Amino acid sequence: MNGSGTKGRAGRAGGQASAGDLLQLVRTGRATTRGALQQVTGLSRATVGQRLDRLFRAGWLREGAGGPVDSPLGGRPSITLEFDDAHAVVLAADLDTRHARAAVLSLGGDLLAEHSGALAIQDGPDAVLGELGGWFAALLEKAGRGADEVCGIGLAVPGPVDSASGRVVQPPMMPGWDGYDIRGRLARAFTEHTGAGPVPVLVDNDANLMAYGEQRTGYPDCSAFVLVKVSTGIGAGVVVGGTIYRGIDGGAGDIGHIRVPEGAGALCRCGSYGCLAALASGGAVAGRLAEAGVPAASGSDVRDLLASGHPEAVGLAREAGRQVGDVLATVVTLLNPGVLMIAGDLAGTPFVTGVRELLYQRALPRSTARLEVVTSRLGERAGLVGAGALVVEHLYAPERVEERLLELGV
């Protein structure tokens, strides 16, 4: 957060920084001593002390080691303030078409327990979300944490999400999920399996959350970051200024449904012909391999074939990369990102080589001069890390902090 954001909020609250603003300053490292908080906010020592006291009583702040002595005359070192990321945990899950991952994370993003397994999205939201509730209960036991320590749940899904409602909107790969109350069902499943009270549930697109997790952990200084996930389908996540860019109703980044001339005869899952995903996704490559007599039904099957160096899979993956790279030349020209990350089942050397070939051939040199084209650092955990971070940023945003402190009676 920048300084203007803090001042803007403080002005709306009556001209003074709130306890939530102080917590944000500590969490982001902009001010980590009482003196620094006074200097940044203009609050008196007594007022800073009162507001910090509320955060200490909530268990959200702790005192760290003493900082350096700034005065040439010496004196006692300033006691630093730290966000206590052990006072609660977050649950996160990342759904794919045929399998899922779930985890318990600390508020700082560390994975405390993790599970992955088969979970078919085509079984419908009631069954899938109910199963996730059982996974969460087992994971909490594995992590040695109580259900009452959970402050929220984050869920990544392979479809466009209206962030205001948490519902997916016409998802091509999620039959039976359109408009379903995912938040409500997952909250109930958590309660059914743990006996704990309801907790907030946040839902977002998987590519968005992968991008968010990767940008925050590996490229925090990149102001324009794009991640393209190529698995059974194709989607992109865009992080601008440290915030996920979703468009007006969650449809941003849906590049898999851009029409491409070469795919004119290819029928997509969305019902249209010519979509990029119908031509160059892991599912499309799997279909071509199956036609050639190679057992493959999904992006994960293609990933396994690529890992073994299967020559036909390698050739098709490189060609798919070229087709995606052609579209990405437009994306890069439009967004001018500093980092373009390729992730998902096909994100290996053959595919990335194909992307580079067409991207650098078609995009303007100015658009690619400072561009890094990289592959995922977090791998299959990116969506989990992003989902956890989304929950933490929501619950500890300054305006939400004030509401939660009042609910706690502090």
**pLDDT digits over 253-298, tens only?**
999 999 998 878 899 988 899 999 999 999 999 999 999 999 999 8
Greatest distance between any 2 Cα atoms in the chain: 80
- In this prediction, residue 76 has a pLDDT band, given cuts at 50, 70 and 90, of low
Residue 306 has pLDDT above 80, yes or no: yes
Which pair of tokens denotes residue 82? 């730290």
Question: Count of CB atoms within 10 A of residue 179's CB?
Answer: 12
DSSP bridge partners of 273: 267
**pLDDT digits over 170-221, tens only?**
998 899 999 999 999 999 999 999 999 999 999 999 999 999 999 999 999 9
List the alpha helices (DSSP H) in 18-124: 19-27, 34-41, 45-58
**pLDDT digits over 51-62, tens only?**
999 999 999 999
Strand ranges of the sheet holding 224-230, from the earlier edge strand across to the other edge: 243-244, 234-240, 224-230, 339-343, 372-375
Q: Which amino acid is at 101?
A: R
∠ at Cα 140 (135, 146), nearest 5°?
140
Which pair of tokens denotes residue 160? 């466009």
Which pair of tokens denotes residue 197? 């009270």
What secondary structure letter does DSSP report for 118? Answer: E
Question: Count of CB atoms within 10 A of residue 336's CB?
Answer: 16
**Whole-angstrom distance, CA of residue 229 vs CA of residue 162:** 19
**Whole-angstrom distance, CA of residue 220 vs CA of residue 16:** 29
Q: What is the mean pLDDT of residues 129-152?
A: 98
User: Which of 1, 2, 17 shows the shortest CA–CA distance to 401?
Assistant: 17
Full-model pTM: 0.91
CA distances from 180 to 1, 73, 121, 129, 344 (A): 34, 65, 13, 11, 26
- In this prediction, residue 167 has a pLDDT band, given cuts at 50, 70 and 90, of very high
Pair 161, 204: CB distance under 8 Å: yes
Q: Which amino acid is at 216?
A: R
Contacts of 304 (CB under 8 A, 6+ apart): none
